[in-house]
A and B are shown apart, each in its own frame.
Chain A
Amino acid sequence: GQNIDQPTEMTATEGAIVQINCTYQTSGFNGLFWYQQHAGEAPTFLSYNVLDGLEEKGRFSSFLSRSKGYSYLLLKELQMKDSASYLCAVRDSSASKIIFGSGTRLSIRP
Chain B
Amino acid sequence: GAVVSQHPSWVICKSGTSVKIECRSLDFQATTMFWYRQFPKQSLMLMATSNEGSKATYEQGVEKDKFLINHASLTLSTLTVTSAHPEDSSFYICSAPTPSGRAGYEQYFGPGTRLTVT
Q: Which residues does A use to contact B, with CB under 8 Å?
A: 31, 33, 40-43, 45, 48, 50, 85, 87, 91, 95-103, 105
Query: Is B74 interfacial (CB-CB < 8 Å)?
Result: no
Query: Is B43 interfacial (CB-CB < 8 Å)?
Result: yes
Is A103 touching B43 in the complex (CB atoms < 8 A)? Answer: yes
Is B42 touching A103 in the complex (CB atoms < 8 A)? Answer: yes
* Interface size counted on chain B using CB atoms at 8 A: 23
Residue from A48, A97, A103 in contact with B46 in the complex, judged by beta carbons closer than 8 Å: A97
* Majority secondary structure, A binding face: loop
Query: Is B106 interfacial (CB-CB < 8 Å)?
Result: yes
Is B44 touching A48 in the complex (CB atoms < 8 A)? Answer: no
Bound-complex Cα distance A99 to B93 (A): 14
Is A87 touching B105 in the complex (CB atoms < 8 A)? Answer: no
Is B44 touching A45 in the complex (CB atoms < 8 A)? Answer: no
Residue from A40, A41, A87 in contact with B44 in the complex, judged by beta carbons closer than 8 Å: A87
Is A40 touching B91 in the complex (CB atoms < 8 A)? Answer: yes
